[in-house]
Structure 1
Amino acid sequence: MSFLKFILKNPFRRKNSAILAIVGIAIGIIVIVALGGITEGLVNTFEDTIHAGGADFTVSGKETGDSAYGTNTISSNWTEKIANVSGVDEAFPIYVVLTSVGDDYMNTLIGIDPNGTALADISMKEGRIFEDNSSEAILGEIYAEDNNYSVGDTIDIDREEFKIVGIYETGDQNMAGGVFTSISKVGDLMDDEDSISNIYVKVNKGEDPQTVADRIDSQYGDNITTVTSVMEMTQMADMLNMLQASTWAISLLAIVVGGLGIINTMLMSVFERTREIGVLKAVGWSNRKILTMIVGESLVITIVSAIIGSLIGFAACTILGPQMGIEPLFTPKIFIQAFAIAIVVGIIGGIYPALKAVRLPPTEALRYE
């Protein structure tokens, strides 16, 4: 039997101990992969939303609130104020709500001025844009296909009948399954004509968007926030930091438990194989080769844990994420991080038992029964 096969086979001679160690490490890996995918998905979704369409940046409420974007709604008169700031070419308000649409108890309804749809990154695939303050709506192609809607059909939105006048397509996955209608109509439905969620802003040609955004902040920064990147939203940054901290706290706990399991498993392995190790030393195995064997066996267990944990974490997120309204995004960095942690735990968990093994005097080991 080759040295490599020897290392691959040995950890599973004590199946119960190996399984317990694998489960402990795998739990930590599942948490790292699953929450990593959720975090990346949230960042991607909010980046899509904030950098929507032809808008150079977005203006939102200052404080955390109950709007669809997690900020407080703002008064509609802010649109005119923003439009009058030097360097601003266009400013169009949007009102995003979650309400009953068709057979869905909750879906995204987006209200916008018909002239501002270009800033929302949508283009008509069929039909036309809705008219202002009318009971007309346009549907995202994904929503229309999933629910078998066509141009000319009617759809109930918040218990009111709307005519479907168009099907749109978009590069923003957050809006592909949504419904657009006139912002004034959304205000009527919500009985809140004076509130909006955000303002899409387009700057004049030749203007630097960041400079204009800073200009708005300097004038109105006490009341509103200009968002040129998702990480500038304080509440999003706090939420993501909290999520990442939770990921590391939970995974660290699981990995510590798993690491102790690895050390215990490998110590038991060394104890049970005392005579075997003595024989190997007697036939010429060096301390370095013994150490490599023990650490290698520890790595086999943690790498198997990383593979199992990554697969379960990926599958769980992929299946359960969409049901919770989250589209997870998995990047190579997440899996590299998971495997790197597993390898470090494997090396650390194997070093102490390996040192115990190399310190065994061959003559005493051979006498061990």
Structure 2
Amino acid sequence: MITIRNLRKTYQMGKVEVRALDGISLSVKQGEYVAITGASGSGKSTLMHILGLLDVPDDGTFEIDGTDVTKFSENELAAFRNRVMGFVFQQFNLLKRTSALENAALPLIYARNGRRQDVAREKLELVGLGNRMSHHTNELSGGQQQRVAIARALVNHPSIIFADEPTGNLDSKSAKEIMQVMSELHAQGLTIILVTHDSDVANHAQRIIEIRDGKILSDTPNPDAPKVPENVPSKNSSKVRKTSVFQSLREGEVLLRQSLRSLLSNKVRTALSALGIMIGVAAVIAVVALATGAKKSIEDQLSQLGTNLLMLMPERRMSGGVRQASGSVSRLEEEDTKAIREQVPHVSYASSTVSGNAQLKAGNKNWNCRVEGVDPEYEIMRSNQPQLGRFFTEAEMRNRSRVCVLGLTPVKELFGGANPVGQQVKINRQTFTVIGVLPEKGSSGFRDYDDTAIIPSTTAMRRLFGKTYVDRIEIQVDESDNLEQAQKDILALMAHRHRTGTRENPFDIRDMTEIQETVSSTGDVLSILLSGIASIALVVGGIGIMNIMLVSVTERTREIGLRKALGARGQDIMMQFLIEALIISFFGGFLGVLLGVAASLITEKTSGLEVLITQNSIILAFVFSAVIGIVFGIWPARKAARLNPIEALRYE
């Protein structure tokens, strides 16, 4: 069954070269019970590790059933260890905080043959632990723990059992019980290779091989041992099997449960690892919500100004390096508004606008606000249909009537929010009749768009501000496609009316649509910038995960070695640690979403700022946290996957 020829293994201990095996040759038949003995440092454990495919020789040949296993890949070696071999260690190597049943079933995870825990129950009953299956390892005696290890070695029906000092940590009574179990297993036809320095233990074997200084000193049969059984158990296939979708899902479920168990065993550490991700996700969601809300608020306010709007105003000129006031060269007149309305194609509406601040008084209450003198078209252009009362008419504008439409802020300050329509209000000591209340426009930054009073432009010019010109002309074009041509036509008309050259046109025209687009794009850039800054917290959280996972790999080095000895492939180990990193990331991401939403809502309530939490920002935060988990979990996972099984098992 096993044949080795001229096997050599050398270790480098600092500058000293230690030859653990020096040209060993032997063969083991199927169904044999072999004891390998020798003093400490003789090379017996090294030989067993190589025979058990936990280590590789430097030189020589090693065949199992005629197959040269020295040419096997890592996955093929793992499959061989899982399906052909079972291991019993001196240190038991049971997983902590895990039941006897779960420990015994551990090799089934990596077998990929559909076997379930029923097999583990059967083997535990076989070794006399049928009533202790649910007990954790710290609730079992040394002898019982070793029985669990034997049951674990048997669950995949191996052909060979490797036992490394199986009684080394047991009292004499427990040692006898374990050796009795070994003899019973051999009687069932199993091949057993046992390493021991105890002659009483070795006498249970059919054949005793003594090793000294890396060489076989003697290889003698034991006449007192039972004969080799004629019926031997069937061999398991050692080929790497392809798994079905169902088995893959089941393996994933098992890995998920094991990852959760591992994380829950260190709750404080897991919580601290998730804290960085939680803060990062919360920061991203809160910042994006604030930026998106601010952008939407500005866009809503700009949209309330109207669509396809142009604003014509006198251009500010430079004189002696000093920028002069608007209109210092040419001024706009009421007739310009009329000419634009009548002569420029595609113009739907045009309104003269005269602006200034004024003192409003109603009864014993005073309020200073912005007063806008406009034409009746302003109501349609700016979507300013009064929510109470009406807008002024053409006749009232021609007659310079002292009527006004108030915004919500002066209504609140002067009338306490009551209906002011029909009431009298003084504007700069002139009495006006309130005929309407404007719709709510909101605020942006420190500007309150509801803090305004609107009166006829003629009244503002002749009665209130004493102006003979208008500050600007607002124009609405029928279609957005006609905005560019309308601008050219308006500037050409102004150049003709004011007798100025087109190259030195003293008027400036602004496209409100372009301003809206600029504000929107600026909001997007600001949102991305703030999100990037907030994402730094996510990266810091990812570094925290990587640090914790590296510590976890170091602490669980023996566990990793055990899993590899039982048949875990490198990708199995890597996947387990990646799943743990992802669980931490998703847990932190979930808490971060809750915290971010709560922080956003609290900010909205306390500051009055508009906050907009979008589904995309939540999804983005989750995806980003998952990416962080993978990116920063991949290095610890790869480190764990690359550990040598025998070096990991020896780790202290």
Instruction: State whether TM-score is above 0.5.
Output: yes
Q: Given the superposition, is the C-alpha separation of residues 158 and 346 from structure 1 closer, same or farther in structure 2, using an over 3 Å criterion?
A: farther
Matched residue SS, 2:620: helix
Kindly state the Cα deviation for residue 109 of structure 1 after the two structures are TM-superposed. 7.9
Where structure 2 has 5 or more consecutive residues not aligned to the other structure, the ranges are 1-101, 103-253, 316-324, 492-504
Kindly state the Cα deviation for residue 154 of structure 1 after the two structures are TM-superposed. 6.8
2:475 alignment partner in structure 1: 201
1:23 alignment partner in structure 2: 275
2:262 alignment partner in structure 1: 10
CA separation in 2, counterparts of 1:10 and 1:100? Answer: 72
Kindly state the Cα deviation for residue 338 of structure 1 after the two structures are TM-superposed. 1.5
- Structure 2 residue 521 is matched with structure 1 residue 226: no
Counterpart selection for 2:544 from 261, 267, 279: 261
Kindly state the Cα deviation for residue 111 of structure 1 after the two structures are TM-superposed. 6.6
- Could you say which structure has the greater relative contact order, defined with CA pairs below 8 angstroms and 6 or more residues apart? 1
CA separation in 2, counterparts of 1:11 and 1:97? Answer: 67
1:66 alignment partner in structure 2: none
Kindly state the Cα deviation for residue 39 of structure 1 after the two structures are TM-superposed. 2.6
* TM-score when normalising by structure 2: 0.44
CA separation in 1, counterparts of 2:558 and 2:424? Answer: 78
1:149 alignment partner in structure 2: 418
2:348 alignment partner in structure 1: 89
CA separation in 1, counterparts of 2:572 and 2:506? Answer: 65
Partners of 1:60 and 1:226 within 8 A in 2:
no
Kindly state the Cα deviation for residue 260 of structure 1 after the two structures are TM-superposed. 1.2
Where structure 1 has 5 or more consecutive residues not aligned to the other structure, the ranges are 64-72
CA separation in 2, counterparts of 1:319 and 1:109? Answer: 35
Mapping 1:205-354, distance limit 5 Å: 208-216=479-487, 219=491, 223-230=508-515, 232-233=517-518, 236=519, 239-240=522-523, 243-244=526-527, 246-321=529-604, 324=607, 326-354=609-637
Counterpart selection for 1:129 from 363, 377, 391: 391
Kindly state the Cα deviation for residue 182 of structure 1 after the two structures are TM-superposed. 1.3
Amino acid at match of 1:28: G
Matched residue SS, 1:223: strand
Deviation string, structure 1 residues 166-201 (Cα, Å, up to 9, x no partner): 44557x66699835521558999x9797786x8653
Partners of 1:94 and 1:199 within 8 A in 2:
yes
CA separation in 2, counterparts of 1:126 and 1:305? Answer: 51
2:638 alignment partner in structure 1: 355
Matched residue SS, 1:225: strand
CA separation in 1, counterparts of 2:614 and 2:371? Answer: 30
Kindly state the Cα deviation for residue 355 of structure 1 after the two structures are TM-superposed. 0.5
Deviation string, structure 1 residues 239-282 (Cα, Å, up to 9, x no partner): 53662353144124222222211110111111111222223333
1:68 alignment partner in structure 2: none
Matched residue SS, 1:48: helix
Mapping 1:180-195, distance limit 5 Å: 181-182=453-454
Matched residue SS, 2:601: helix
* Larger Cα-atom Rg: 2
CA separation in 2, counterparts of 1:62 and 1:290? Answer: 74
Q: Percent of counterpart pairs with the same letter?
A: 27
Mapping 1:42-191, distance limit 5 Å: 42-52=294-304, 55-59=307-311, 77=332, 80=336, 83=341, 85-92=344-351, 112-129=374-391, 134=402, 136-139=404-407, 148-152=417-421, 165-167=435-437, 169=439, 178=450, 181-182=453-454
Worse-matched range after superposition: 48-57 or 331-340: 48-57
Amino acid at match of 2:477: V
Equivalent pairs counted in the alignment come to 349
Amino acid at match of 2:294: L
Counterpart selection for 2:284 from 32, 35, 39: 32
Amino acid at match of 1:261: G
CA separation in 2, counterparts of 1:351 and 1:157? Answer: 73
Give the RMSD, CA atoms, in angstroms: 4.6
Amino acid at match of 2:567: G
